[in-house]
Structure 1
Amino acid sequence: MTNREIATIGCALLAALLFAVSSVAQHQAAAAVPPGSGLARTLVRNPRWWAAIVGDAGGYGMQVLALAFGAVLVVQPILVCSLVFALPLAARLNRQRIRGQAVLAALALVVALVLFLVIGDPTAGADTAPLREWLVPLTVLLGVVVVATLTGTLVRDKAVRALSLGLAGGALFGLAAALTDRVVTLFGEGPGSVLTGWQTWALVAAGLVGFALQQRAYQAGPLAASLPAAAVAEPLAAAYLGLTALDERLRTGDTGLLVLAVCVVVMCVATVVLSRAQAPSDAATTTS
């Protein structure tokens, strides 16, 4: 493993840790806001929420560094580890024991991530592509976001609302991650390139809307429903855009692709198991 690869993985793991701490703190702040109250107005008065925002900013900074060293297909799956970090933190804050089922699910998730990185061996791809190359992938992704947002808005079940809004927010964060490399490059080309590049404004829009949906998801229901959905949706959305728009490639054969597909399934199943194992403690937090 090269120094560049080590730096990529190290920065991504640190980003995952910061995102985990921030997610737990933001959920506790948003869950305390009664439905129908002004969510944004209440949150900006909460010092804990602001501390979480600082953690989010630090996590994003580490994510940008990781993307500067390595491919989207390497960085984004590692960020799923934020769920593994958040599990013991949430359990400690809620004075709950971590169940054996949750530990096994977390281990399965980590193993699936390692296999994905080692077997897939993804290439770096390009940091940009013509807008026409983005149109179809973006249409598909934004369609998923719209459906998930409508579901999270219209249904009454708290867990389904939190899961749907978390999925929508996570997908938009995946879009932002896929655009980050190009926006960083635009900064090197001067202020004019930054202001005129469509990627800059798409990144800002995806980040702001994704953040708003994330806060709504935290308010809507338990962290165990929203965080796993967001943690899986973000890397899958970024990987999808990396493969379809940025010409990233997985350097593996047919057998390797089958193993990678199994890894993705394991990641999704482990996420669901983690959410169920964590649900009792989250429910207590939400109702307290």
Structure 2
Amino acid sequence: MARADIAALLALAAAFFIAVGDVIHQRSAHEVTDQPVGHLTLFLTLLRDRRWWLGSGVAGAGFALQAAALGLGSVLLVQAVLVTALLFALPISARQSQRRVTRWQWVWAVLLAGSVIVIVTVGNPTAGDSRASLETWIGVLAVLGPALALCLLGARLWSGPASAVLLAVVSGALWGLFAVLTKSVVDRLDVTSWAGLEQLLVTPELYAWAVVAVTGTAMQQASFRAGALTASLPTMTVTEPIVACVLGVVVLGETLRPGDAGWFTLVVAVAVMVAATAALARGEAATREPV
């Protein structure tokens, strides 16, 4: 079996575990307290919640599988497959809430699955470099940093859905960055010798990776609390793969090889994937809106 095929299977397994973790996290964020709290207070409160830690453990298994997939395949491939997490979250959340999945949700689910298959097969993504230069990361920080800072400022100025959307953009962007950093960390990971561990410990991406993971988690929970899930979940779900794929191309030099006749098909598939993801996430969030 080819490395790309194994990476796709690992990413599919990762999508399942991440979906289960997200379902648990979303419920915990809304039920952990009835009082209005700030971002930091919410995060610290969740750290004392057993159910939130259960979700974190399940999601952690998903991230480990994602890391293994990134060690074998490109960010473009892995992130495209990870979008299918919504396909798993749909029936899991429906069963938890004791409701039925609607006909339109199944239609969007089929379209999402089909678009992912088209992107992976027609796009034929190829892996690039595992790491980027310091100059490249400084350029990324110069662009992404101010953009996320403006989103955080806007989230403080506005409340309700607007705040939820802006915080979701920050969280999704950070998780997209997390995926690219994960590939860099996995490339340096060698637990077979002390020299390998020492090499990992002096890798700057390792510490950036840890900071981004914690910050992304905090922003995710803050987004869930800021407003309706109909505002946060679709934004977060679409932002993450877009940022990850853009960084995969710009930072790691990954490419798509659809051929001259395949670009139109690829563009249509990407548009369908984004539309289906947003529709599924919005429908899923609406069914779990607090009463």
Q: Would you call these one fold, judging by a TM-score over 0.5?
A: yes
2:94 to 73, 91, 98: 91
- The CA deviation at 1:255 is 3.7
CA gap 1:125/1:221 in 2 versus in 1, 3 angstroms: same
| 8 Å Cα contact 1:27-1:219 kept in structure 2 | no
- Amino acid of the residue matched to residue 163 of structure 1? V
Output aligned runs, 1:31-180, within 5 Å: 31-32=30-31, 33=33, 34-36=35-37, 38-157=41-160, 159-180=161-182
- What secondary structure, in the 3-state scheme, does the structure 2 residue paired with 1:104 have? helix
Match of 2:16 in 1: 17
Structure 1 window deviating more from structure 2 (54-63 vs 183-192): it is 183-192
Range moving further from structure 2, 179-188 or 218-227: 218-227
Distance 1:171 1:183 in 2: 18
* Counterpart residue number, 1:185: 187
Q: Give 1:221's aligned residue.
A: 227
Task: Measure, in 2, the Cα distance between the counterparts of 1:261 and 1:209.
Answer: 32
Consecutive unaligned residues in structure 1, runs of 5 or more = none
Q: What TM-score do the two structures reach when normalised by structure 2? A: 0.89
Distance 1:170 1:59 in 2: 16
Question: Quick one: which amino acid aligns to residue 241 of structure 1?
Answer: L
* Aligned match for 2:253, one of 243, 247, 263: 247
Bigger mean CA offset, 35-44 vs 126-135? 35-44
In structure 2, the CA distance between the partners of 1:102 and 1:164, relative to structure 1 (3 Å rule), is farther
Q: Return the alpha-carbon distance in structure 1 between the equivalents of residues 117 and 64 of structure 2.
A: 23
**Following the alignment from structure 1 to structure 2, what is the Cα–Cα distance between the partners of residues 233 and 54?**
24
Gap change, CA 1:245 and 1:280, over 3 Å in 2: closer
The one-letter code of the counterpart of 2:3 is R
- Secondary structure, in 3 states, of the residue corresponding to 1:190? helix
1:265 aligns with 2:263: no
Contact 2:229 2:286 in 1 (8 A): no
- When normalised by structure 1's length, the TM-score is 0.90
1:136: how far off? Answer: 2.8
- Identity value in percent: 35
Deviates more, 1:102-111 or 1:40-49: 40-49
Asked whether the 8 Å contact 2:237–2:281 carries over to 1, the reply is: no
- Where 2:288 maps in the other structure, the secondary structure is helix
Residue 69 (structure 1) shift: 1.4
189-198 vs 233-242, which moves further: 189-198
1:30 paired to 2:56: no
Measure, in 1, the Cα distance between the counterparts of 2:98 and 2:280: 17
3-state DSSP class of the match of 2:189?
helix
